[in-house]
Amino acid sequence: MAAVLAVCSVNVNGIRAAHRRGGIDWLARGGGHDVVLLQEVRASTPQLQEATAGLGEFHVAHAEATAAGRSGVAILSRTPVRDVRETLAEPFAGSGRWVEATVDTELGPVRMVSVYVHTGEADSPRQDEKYAFLEAMTERMAELADAGVPTLVAGDLNIAHTARDIRNAKGNVGKAGYLPAEQEYLSRWTADGCWVDLGRAHAGDVDGPYTWWTWRGQAFDRDVGWRIDYAFATADLAQRLAAVEVGRAPSYAERWSDHAPVTVRFS
């Protein structure tokens, strides 16, 4: 059965830099995305619209960070966006880490969320802030699940959920991104079946597929990566899943972000 809804999520590491490196061309060739979810936009809304002009006409919901050149998340949709919410909770207003909107699709209305969870540092105030954000995210995801509207929450969570999601698990024990307290949040979201990790559901019990590799050294060439970019769907939407594709660049030279795009297709 042909897919009727295609959603691509990617941390662009700055939309203008991604444009210069060929990221917008990649997205334009990427298979007719109905919705594109962006993280770390790091630009104003006019700059975002200018950088993505090559994608054609999209309606935009953009949660811009108050601090220039930081964070920023966006939803680009072929159909109009409505009921836009640009923050997760009051303590995180202006952080540019959460945006949600409803879009009309061939499956009916779908609530779309683009989220960026910042990197932490074990035993630091920055890690405490990460936990506070994850707690607020957990509360909001419960509200979204109870709302009864099919919902997709996708983005860069900066957490490897299990050893299957990180190539060098032993070397990262005790480090932010691979802490049990972080992983517990992802386990809670999926424990009762209200939310489904689409990447893992599609790939099965295998290593990866990874979505992030440092720019340094031979990590990309040796596939020493992390799966930290996720798409979670409410159970009703997850039942329509047709495919999950990780757009890993063919070579180091062709990378336009240190993250690979994750595309989910529903039929």
DSSP 117: P
C-alpha distances in angstroms, 109 versus 80, 87, 102? 11, 21, 6
Amino acid at 22: G
Average pLDDT over residues 127-134: 97
* pLDDT at residue number 262: 98
DSSP 226: B
**pLDDT by residue (tens digit) across 138-167?**
999 999 999 999 999 999 999 999 999 999
Return the structure tokens found at 108. 């009916």
Q: What is the pTM of this model?
A: 0.97
The torsion angle over the Cα atoms of residues 42, 122, 141 and 110, rounded to 10 degrees, is 30
Contact 175, 166 (CB under 8 A): no
Q: Which of 103, 29, 1 is nearest to 261 (CA)?
A: 29
Give the confidence band of 31 by pLDDT, cuts at 50, 70, 90.
Answer: low
**pLDDT by residue (tens digit) across 171-216?**
999 999 999 999 999 999 999 999 999 999 999 999 999 999 999 9
* pLDDT at residue number 3: 79
Please say if the pLDDT value at position 122 is more than 80: yes
* Phi-psi group of 146: left, alpha or beta (phi > 0 → left; psi -120 to 50 → alpha; rest → beta): alpha
**pLDDT by residue (tens digit) across 47-100?**
999 999 999 999 999 999 998 888 999 999 999 999 999 999 999 999 999 999
Average pLDDT over residues 102-129: 96
Average pLDDT over residues 23-41: 93
Domains and CATH numbers, the chain: 7-259 (3.60.10.10)
* pLDDT at residue number 69: 82
Buried b (16+ CB within 10 A) or exposed e, 4-15: ebbbbbbbbbbb
Please say if the pLDDT value at position 13 is more than 70: yes
pLDDT above 70 as % of the chain: 99
Residues 6+ apart with CB under 8 A from 226: 160, 165, 166, 167, 177, 210, 211, 212, 213
Contact 9, 114 (CB under 8 A): yes
Return the structure tokens found at 208. 């990866």
Question: Cα(230)–Cα(208) distance, rounded to whole angstroms?
Answer: 12
Q: What are the φ and ψ backbone dihedral angles of 15, each rounded to 5 degrees?
A: -65, -35
